[in-house]
Amino acid sequence: MSFLKSIFGAKAQPAPEPVVIAAMTSLPPPRAASPAFAAPEFIPCTDRRFFEILETYQHRSRPLHDYVSWDIEEEKRLKMLRVEAYQLRNGTDYQPHDVFHLWPYQPVDPDHVIKHVTLKAGAPRVLPEYSQILQVNVVSDRVMKAITALEEAGRQAFYPLDIVPADGGTRQRYHFMQFLEHTDCTVPKLGGFRKGVRQDGTTYWVRTSSDDKVFLDAERAGTRHLFFDKRAKSGCFISSQLVAKLGEFLPAGLYLSETGSVRPRG
């Protein structure tokens, strides 16, 4: 359901390149375009840079979900209200598991979203700022503010969530994050994909098993800074501007992989 797959992997993955680590703070100048970058119908784009949020493999990082508890019966009630609202809005009897990531992407009613969870004893002092609870994306208040400072309204919806210590200490404000659009910004022919053929002879693109560099069409990405894309390996791309604003926001187990950026020629 989420744009991030399970953060429990099984493959071996080298550490992120130094340029990717540095990008989280100082954003080095873009690397020179490779021959594969300059396809005849595209030209390199140097004014917009993007990264893909990917998972490392063989890590055992735990999502925020594992560090909190909630009123199970209340969440069941709210979940059913979300489903019923989806059915009424779209004129269907289909009963989805949940509605945060279903097309058409429409904001959930804030009254149908749980408002607080309780921090478990033994939870780490520093919680992940970008994670999941109840299989829904959740970000810290700092991350939410950085996103909304750059993004146009209507691309994501945020729902406040207080994380309350069991001993009644200071609450931490987080937000469930719902993507409201599903983009198609990759250029598969330039790298990171292989072409498949169906029985009827039609073709389609599939991500390669390795984390080869992929390319984005900067015009299709437009002014977006964090977007859920149909061909992203883990669902999400992020702009260099937002990366610079956020600094080190990803938990262990997730990293940034720089993409290529092109524009259609002419």
Collapsing DSSP to helix, strand or coil, 23 comes out as helix
| Terminal C-alpha separation, the chain | 38
Which residue spans within 15-171 are E strands per DSSP? 42-44, 50-55, 68-69, 116-119, 130-133, 136-140, 156-165
How is 173-190 classified by DSSP, letter by letter? EEEEEEE---B--B-GGG
Comparing 71-85, 99-113, 134-148, the range with the smallest average pLDDT is: 99-113
pLDDT in tens, 88-116: 999 999 999 889 988 888 999 999 999 99
The average pLDDT across 218-245 equals 96
Specify whether the CB–CB gap between 72 and 266 falls below 8 A.
Answer: no
Predicted local confidence at residue 14, as pLDDT:
45
Residue 81 has pLDDT above 70, yes or no: yes
pLDDT, mean of residues 226-247: 95
CA distance 119 to 113: 18
Separation of alpha carbons 56 and 60, rounded Å: 10
Q: What is the mean pLDDT of residues 28-43?
A: 62
pLDDT attached to residue 66: 95
Mean pLDDT across the chain: 86
Rounded mean pLDDT of 27-53?
Answer: 74
150 has a pLDDT exceeding 90: yes
Global pTM value: 0.84
Check residue 117 and give its pLDDT: 97
Please, which pLDDT band fits residue 58 given cuts at 50, 70 and 90? low
Whether residue 259 contacts residue 50, with contact meaning beta carbons closer than 8 Å, is answered with: yes
In this structure, of 96-105, 152-161, 185-194, 198-207, the range with the lowest mean pLDDT score is: 96-105
Closest alpha carbon to 82 in 59, 52, 55, 114: 114
pLDDT bucket at 29, cuts 50 / 70 / 90: low
Banded model confidence at residue 27, pLDDT cuts 50, 70, 90:
low
Task: With H, G, I as helix, E, B as strand and everything else as coil, classify residue 266.
Answer: coil
Please tell me the total number of residues recorded for the chain in this structure: 266
Which single residue is written with the structure tokens 């719902």? 178
